Amino acid sequence: MADTPTRPTWLVTGATGFLGANIGTFLDGRAHRIGAARAQIASTSLFDEYLVGDLEHPESLAAAIEARRPDVVIHAAALASHEACEADPARAEQVNAHAAGALSDAAARCGARFVLISTDAVFDGERGNYTETDEPHPTTVYGRTKLMGEQLVAANPEALIVRTNFFGWSPSGSRSILEFFVKELSAGRPVRGFTDFTTTSAYAQVLAGVIWRLVQGEATGTFHVTSPDALTKHDFGIAVAQAFGLRTDLITPSTADVHPPRGRDLSLDVAKVQSWLGEALPSQLDGIARALADSATLRPALANTLGN
């Protein structure tokens, strides 16, 4: 009888957060999943086991990586709130930059592949359609600290840096622009749709699948992984309403008044990753359709853990 192939071990930080939880569901049956979260939680179907790790003090998590020797470390945890980063820049720098560098170093020491999840916010949003070779110019504390994290991780020649923007279903049910539009429009509440904010957001499960393929192919360096089509927040909301059979007239076109001010066109060029994959990435409309198809199964699966 042939030996059963051993599944690789993937350690995912931010395991109870939006992207981390989505990666956990994607990896089901593909890898042994170790989830790292800020606090001890009960075991769920999203991961096979959990570790406690505080990115403000990443030494213990770095030690756990070296002790467990996973095949892959996906660093999906971050202080992602723009408001929280502006309120406490020192904490943002520790969590988004120094912790990323420490974990990347630990992965390198034990021979694990390291993947940093970064952001389109490393750009200023003045023109959009940014490529991997364009010079980053972040305008927020969040963007600046994530860029610092990229720079520290880049010292690891085997590391993979994935700049992205994503939507989908989250454990808390309130972390995604998709969830916002579905919740508000389903309740018949009017909402604003920003006409001056443009992104190339990817469906989270599609993003997880591309990361899997990049790791399997031993890709290194920086890749932009989003959808190939750019949509304003208003147009995204209209697309969600149409796909889910909700009222488009509840969405009022408006200009953004968010604080801190952010880049207006953070669309990313995905030609590099599409060439590497040998195929086009799904559009945002494709991702919305898949989110609808996944809603009956993925939403309750993700709700079986804690949002953060």
Q: Which pLDDT tens digit goes with each residue over 243-255?
A: 999 999 999 999 9
Domain membership flag for residue 293: no
| Choice between 91 and 40, residue whose per-residue pLDDT is larger | 91
Task: Tell which residue, 165, 170, 199, 147, has the closest CA to residue 20.
Answer: 170
Domain membership flag for residue 97: yes
User: Percent of the chain scored above 70 by pLDDT?
Assistant: 93
Here the CATH number for the domain that contains residue 89 is 3.40.50.720
Measured distance CA(248)–CA(238) in Å, rounded: 6
Domain membership flag for residue 260: no
Res 305 pLDDT > 90: no
Domain membership flag for residue 295: no
Res 1 pLDDT > 50: no
- The model carries a pTM of 0.94
Measured distance CA(210)–CA(86) in Å, rounded: 31
- What does the block give as tokens for 48? 């096979």
| Average of per-residue pLDDT across 200-225 | 98
CB 206 within 8 A of CB 281: yes
Domain membership flag for residue 14: yes
- Residue span of the structural domain in which 151 resides: 9-169+200-230+267-284
Domain membership flag for residue 186: no
Number of domains in the chain: 1
pLDDT of amino acid 282: 98
* CB within 8 Å of 161: residues ≥ 6 apart: 115, 116, 118, 150, 153, 154, 221, 222, 223
3-state SS assignment for residue 119: strand
Domain membership flag for residue 146: yes
Range in 36-40, 57-61, 148-152 with the lowest mean pLDDT: 36-40
Range in 3-7, 66-70, 187-191 with the lowest mean pLDDT: 3-7
Terminus-to-terminus CA distance in the chain, angstroms? 45
The string of pLDDT tens digits covering residues 76-127 is 999 999 999 999 999 999 999 999 999 999 999 999 999 999 999 999 999 9
- DSSP state, residue 121: G
Measured distance CA(283)–CA(272) in Å, rounded: 16
Task: Tell which residue, 184, 215, 248, has the closest CA to residue 117.
Answer: 215
pLDDT of amino acid 260: 65
Domain membership flag for residue 68: yes
Measured distance CA(150)–CA(144) in Å, rounded: 10
